[in-house]
Amino acid sequence: MARDSLGEAIIRYSLNVKFEDLDQQVINEVKRRILDGLGVALAAFMAEPIKIARGVAKNHRSNVEATLWGTLDTSSIEWAVFTNALMVRYLDYNDTYLGKEPLHPSDMIPALFAAAEHKGLSGKDLITAIATSYEIGIRLCDAGSLRLHGWDHVNYIGIAVTAGLAKLMGLNENEALNALSIATVPHAAMRQSRVGELSHWKAAATANSSRNAVFAVLLAKEGFTGPDAPLKGEMGFVKQLLAGDFNDKIILELSSMPSPKRILDTYIKPYPVEYHAQSAVDAARMIRQEYGKTVGPDDVESITIDTFKAAYDIIVKDPEKWDPKTKETADHSLMWVTAVALLYGTVELYHYKPENIRDPRVLSLIRKMKVNVDPELDKLYPSAIPNRITVKFRNGKELTAQVDHPRGHPKNPMTDEEVEDKFRRLTDGLLTLSQMSTVINLVRNLENLKDIKQILKAIVI
């Protein structure tokens, strides 16, 4: 394969990072993300697309298998990764990074977990691969915006998770470079997955990227070669998907082997809503608390939401976002989640039941809303995620709240206790209290586990 400076920097970095290179804060953050990912995955266990994928996966067996999370069943590693990654992403409740391109980096954890399980690797191996893949994925997001060119962020997931998989599956540098090429060139994902009325595929797009990465790694491990220069080539990734608008330096800096720390710049979600709306939920809760009771449509004259351009483009502008009919659209509607938070004081998973999505009181509040892009708020993004809500009440009262850094943001982080409480709430009714405690303790001590299968056995529903 022809030389590719970006691909070589990524692969050499991934193959050479060691557990001893990781700061303790990074190790702890990886463990928090694993626990968070397990919680949101198990909470989605009975969702329709998950049941479909799991049912298909059970029909695909192989000599290279991994566990279907929440069960004792195994499947071919490609199908297990697809199903488990779909579980993590489906509720839109896992972590986020916002740079030039948004990303949900914990989407990569199921694939890396499956590879570590298959190879019988230790907790230290898994932690190292996750921290390394986060570093690569987040740097890619800082280097160029796929969204602005009509392509989906999951293309970055495919690159970053392939690098981590190559490390765990024991590929050499040449094999890993071929895997990166096979995972990247044939699988450009369009952003059409995230516009209009959203479907099951919105959550499956990253699962598919991870499945493609596993497929590529398995082929490359056996000597299968991929296209030349996949990232920097004449018709490669940077030219085709980014129109050349990519800061190579951010990736080439990996050649100096920096300690993986970019996971510390990512955000855990306190609410099951698209990340740009997290601060709107916080602001709506503040208004409701100050008002002292439910903010219902009969109380309200008008609601104004001032936001930033990225939020407007992703969770406001489409007509479907103003009248959501599916869970996938509702959790990507700034107006819907704001109305729910004003009405109920928070946003929880049960609000996405079909009858609640179409709650006439919620829809009535949405009809009273106006959303503006505020240039001053836009200047704060992405270092801040600012939303300002102003409610004018029929009694003449007016309340305003603005939140720049929602709970879970690095500048307003959730505590370990809050992350563990989120896991317990998500798995309530699925796991016993004993199971919950076992999982939390296993993840807390992950670096001491010789075999990560203990965790999988503890999450059987």
Same domain? 244 vs 279:
no
In the predicted structure, residue 1 carries a pLDDT above the cut 80: no
In tens, the pLDDT along 170-208 reads 999 999 999 999 999 999 999 999 888 878 999 999 999
Same domain? 203 vs 293:
no
**Which residues form the domain of 383?**
275-403
In tens, the pLDDT along 109-143 reads 999 999 999 999 999 999 999 999 999 999 999 99
In tens, the pLDDT along 78-110 reads 999 999 999 999 999 999 999 999 999 999 999
Q: Say if 119 falls within a structural domain.
A: yes
CA atoms within 13 A on the CB side of 255: 11
Q: What share of the chain is helix, strand, coil (3-state, %, to 5)?
A: 60, 10, 30
Q: Say if 317 falls within a structural domain.
A: yes
Q: What is the mean pLDDT of the chain?
A: 96
Q: What is the mean pLDDT of residues 12-18?
A: 98
Same domain? 291 vs 258:
no
Q: Alpha-carbon torsion 279, 285, 290, 294, what sign?
A: positive
| Residue 431 DSSP label | B
In the predicted structure, residue 383 carries a pLDDT above the cut 80: yes
Q: Say if 150 falls within a structural domain.
A: yes
Same domain? 312 vs 190:
no
Given this model, what pLDDT does residue 35 score?
Answer: 98
Q: What is the mean pLDDT of residues 136-156?
A: 97
In tens, the pLDDT along 432-446 reads 999 999 999 999 999
CA pair distance 100, 97, nearest whole angstrom: 10
Given this model, what pLDDT does residue 3 score?
Answer: 72
Structural domain ending residue among the three candidates 369, 403, 437: 403
Q: Say if 418 falls within a structural domain.
A: no
For residue 17, give both structure tokens: 């990072």
Same domain? 15 vs 132:
yes
- Is residue 266 within 8 Å of residue 95, measured between CB atoms? yes
Same domain? 279 vs 260:
no
Same domain? 218 vs 152:
yes
Look at the block and give the residue holding tokens 């690569």. 136
Structural domain ending residue among the three candidates 243, 265, 287: 265
CATH of the domain at 195: 1.10.4100.10
Given this model, what pLDDT does residue 231 score?
Answer: 98
Same domain? 170 vs 302:
no
Same domain? 246 vs 111:
yes
Length of the chain: 461
> In total, how many domains does the chain have?
2
Name the percent of the chain lying above pLDDT 70.
100
Q: Say if 357 falls within a structural domain.
A: yes
Distances in Å between the alpha carbon of 373 and those of 157, 276, 285, 369, 379?
Answer: 29, 13, 21, 14, 11
Q: Say if 375 falls within a structural domain.
A: yes
- Is residue 231 within 8 Å of residue 184, measured between CB atoms? yes
Structural domain ending residue among the three candidates 379, 403, 427: 403
Same domain? 257 vs 315:
no
Same domain? 261 vs 286:
no
In the predicted structure, residue 2 carries a pLDDT above the cut 60: no
Same domain? 223 vs 337:
no
Longest CA–CA span in the chain (Å) reads: 73
Given this model, what pLDDT does residue 195 score?
Answer: 84
Given this model, what pLDDT does residue 28 score?
Answer: 98
Q: Say if 424 falls within a structural domain.
A: no
Q: Say if 447 falls within a structural domain.
A: no
